């Protein structure tokens, strides 16, 4: 169980001077500006939940993660994770969490992956039986097998990321933070990683907090999303809800033979061509099946598709809406 209440954090950043004269002046005095990285951030995440934490770069995502990992002390506000305040009881807190930084490795580059795993086991003082059990479960779940006997440097990026995730789970944490776990992966690896995270959450009831720029990650994994921008939580809701809000409009594309069909009053034309018709409509006023029926009654339909807004477009629209 994670609760954040009115967490605020600001940094002082030195202004870089341009030009020779200003640069020389900056040798002696320097101007600073205050950056509000987190501004009254509050949310609650329940046990076993899987949450997508999204926002543009510099919005405060990694600051929040750092606070929740106990690396950073906020200026004000309260944070309780499993009943502890992370930055006050760092050592006991981090025993219960796993962290994957997508862009930095925790595996030793030049030795077999299994050696890194064993070192991590010793760092966390996991007893051997328990470790073996966890390792067996995870290697099977992730289909790692022989991979863990090869040195990290000869793994593909996808294999490495799966090993990274395993490394963060060896001590059986209740909470897993994933910071851009699919960055740079090819399509197949991405799907494998996503599937694994999904299984993990389903079988081990691990709470997962995921930051990503890849909306397909979000679509595939999380029901709930948190949107942060300029240090503030702008939206906290389910993906379906959001989709409903944005997909009050659907697009219908029809390839047909014959004369151009007439449109119903509830349809807005987007493109009308010989052989292809694109219209948008509001599904609350005209149901999808009625719309299809309306057209197919008039012409012979060769192909038909109904498109609703993608998560990608939705987030772009959200950023636009909040001007972040």
Partner 1 sequence: MKLYGKFFSIHLRCQMQYKASFFMTSLGQFLVSFSLLLGIFFMFLRFNTVEGFTFEQVLLCSAVILFTYSIAECFGRGFDAFPMMIGNGEFDRALVRPRSEVFLVLASKMEFSRIGRLLQAIALFCYAIPTSGIDWSADKVLTLFLMISCGVVIFFGLFVIYAAISFFTIEGIEVMNIVTDGGREFGAYPFSIYGNEVLKILTYVIPLALFQYYPLLYLIGVRDNPLYIFTPLIGLLFLIPCYGLWRFGLRKYKSTGS
Partner 2 sequence: MSAYLALFRIRFSAGLQYRAAALGGIATQFAWGFMLILQFAAFYRTNPDAFPMTPSQIASYIWMQQALLALFMTWFVEHDILSSITSGSIAYELARPMNLYNRWFCQATANRVVKATLRFVPILLIAFLLPEPFRMTLPENLEQLSFFLVSTVLALCVVVAFSMFIYTTVFYTLSSAGVRLVASVLADFFAGAIIPLPFFPDGVRQVVELLPFAAMQNMPLRIYSGSITGSDVLWGLGLQAFWLITLVILGKLAMRKALTKVIVQGG
Task: Identify the residue among 84, 95, 213, 232 touching partner 1 (CB under 8 A).
Answer: 95
Single residue of 3, 46, 92, 287 touching partner 1 by CB under 8 A = 92
- The span from the CA of 237 to the CA of 264, in Å, is 34
Distance CA 249, CA 149 (A): 52
Give the nearest distance from C-beta 69 to partner 1 in angstroms: 5
CA distance 271 to 115: 61
Residue 73 lies near partner 1 (rule: CB under 8 A): yes
DSSP state of 84: B
Smallest distance from partner 1 to CB 38, Å:
11
Only one of the segments 91-99, 254-262, 263-271, 310-318 lies at the binding site for partner 1 (rule: CB under 8 A); that segment is 91-99
CA–CA distance, 299 with 255 (Å, rounded to integer):
10
Distance CA 15, CA 33 (A): 7
Residues 1, 35, 94, 248: which binds partner 1 (CB under 8 A)? 94
In sequence order, which residues have a C-beta less than 8 Å from that of residue 152 and are 6 or more positions away? 105, 107, 108, 109, 110, 111, 112, 113, 116, 160, 163
Question: C-alpha distances in angstroms, 151 versus 144, 166, 170, 241, 290?
Answer: 13, 15, 18, 45, 59
Q: Does 108 bind partner 1 (CB under 8 A)?
A: yes
Q: Is 110 in the site for partner 1 (CB under 8 A)?
A: yes
Q: Assess 104 for contact with partner 1 (CB under 8 A).
A: yes
- Contact in structure between 158 and 192 (CB atoms under 8 Å): yes
Query: Minimum distance between the CB of residue 152 and partner 2, rounded to whole angstroms?
Result: 23
Of the residues 38, 41, 69, 185, which one makes contact with partner 1 according to CB under 8 A: 69
- 109 lies in the site for partner 1, by CB under 8 A: yes
Q: Which partner, partner 1, partner 2, none, binds residue 99 by CB below 5 to 8 Å per kind?
A: partner 1
Pairing relation of β-strands 2-14 and 32-45?
antiparallel
At its nearest, how many Å lie between partner 2 and the CB of residue 231? 27
* Interface of this chain with partner 1, residues 201 to 260, rule: CB under 8 A: none
Q: Are 34 and 10 in contact (CB under 8 A)?
A: yes
Site string for partner 1, 146-185 (x = CB under 8 A): ----------------------------------------
Of the two residues 15 and 244, which places its CB atom closer to partner 2 in the complex? 15
Residue 259, burial from CB neighbour count under 10 angstroms (0-12, 13-18, 19+): exposed
E strand or H helix at 20, and its extent?
Answer: helix 20-25
Pick the closest to residue 277 from 288, 287, 264, 263 (CA basis). Answer: 263
Q: Which of 119, 220, 292, 306 binds partner 1 (CB under 8 A)?
A: 119
For residue 119, the partner it binds in partner 2, partner 1, none, with Cβ less than 5 to 8 A by kind, is partner 1
User: Residues 6 or more apart from 125 whose CB is under 8 A from it?
Assistant: none
* 174 Cβ contact partners less than 8 Å away, ≥ 6 residues apart: 47, 82, 96, 97, 206, 207
143 binds partner 1 (CB under 8 A): no
How many amino acids of this chain bind partner 1 (CB under 8 A)? 33
For residue 65, the minimal CB distance to partner 1 (Å) is: 10
Can you give the binding site for partner 2, defined by CB under 8 A? 16-17, 19-20, 23-24, 26-27, 30
User: Which residues in this chain contact partner 1 in the complex, by CB under 8 A?
Assistant: 11-12, 63, 66, 69-73, 75, 87, 90-92, 94-95, 97, 99, 101, 104, 106, 108-111, 115-116, 118-119, 122-125
């Amino acid at each position: 169980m994670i609760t954040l209440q009115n967490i605020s954090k600001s940094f002082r950043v030195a202004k870089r001077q341009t030009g020779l004269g200003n640069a020389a002046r900056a040798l002696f005095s320097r101007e600073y500006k205050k950056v509000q990285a987190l501004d009254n951030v509050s949310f609650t995440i329940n046990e076993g939940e899987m949450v997508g934490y999204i926002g543009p770069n510099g919005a405060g995502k990694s600051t929040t993660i750092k606070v929740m990992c106990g690396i950073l002390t906020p200026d004000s506000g309260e944070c309780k994770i499993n009943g502890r305040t992370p930055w006050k009881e760092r050592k006991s807190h981090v025993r219960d969490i796993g962290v994957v930084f997508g862009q930095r490795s925790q595996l030793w580059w030049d030795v077999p992956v299994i050696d890194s795993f064993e070192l991590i086991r010793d760092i966390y003082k996991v007893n051997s039986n328990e470790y073996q059990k966890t390792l067996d479960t995870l290697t099977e779940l992730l289909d790692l097998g022989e991979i863990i006997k090869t040195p990290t440097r000869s793994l593909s990026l996808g294999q490495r990321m799966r090993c990274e995730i395993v490394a963060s789970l060896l001590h059986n944490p209740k909470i897993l933070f994933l910071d851009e776990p699919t960055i740079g992966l090819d399509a197949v690896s991405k799907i494998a990683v996503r599937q694994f995270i999904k299984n993990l959450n389903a079988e081990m009831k691990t709470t997962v907090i995921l930051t990503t720029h890849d909306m397909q990650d979000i679509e595939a994994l999380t029901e709930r999303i948190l949107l942060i921008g300029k240090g503030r939580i702008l939206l906290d809701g389910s993906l379906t809800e959001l989709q409903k809000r944005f997909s009050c409009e659907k697009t219908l594309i029809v390839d047909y033979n014959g004369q151009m069909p007439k449109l119903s009053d509830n349809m807005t034309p987007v493109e009308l061509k010989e052989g292809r018709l694109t219209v948008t409509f509001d599904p609350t006023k005209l149901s999808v099946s009625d719309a299809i029926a309306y057209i197919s009654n008039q012409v012979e339909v060769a192909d038909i598709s109904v498109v609703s807004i993608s998560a990608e477009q939705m987030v772009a629209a959200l950023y636009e809406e909040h001007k972040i």
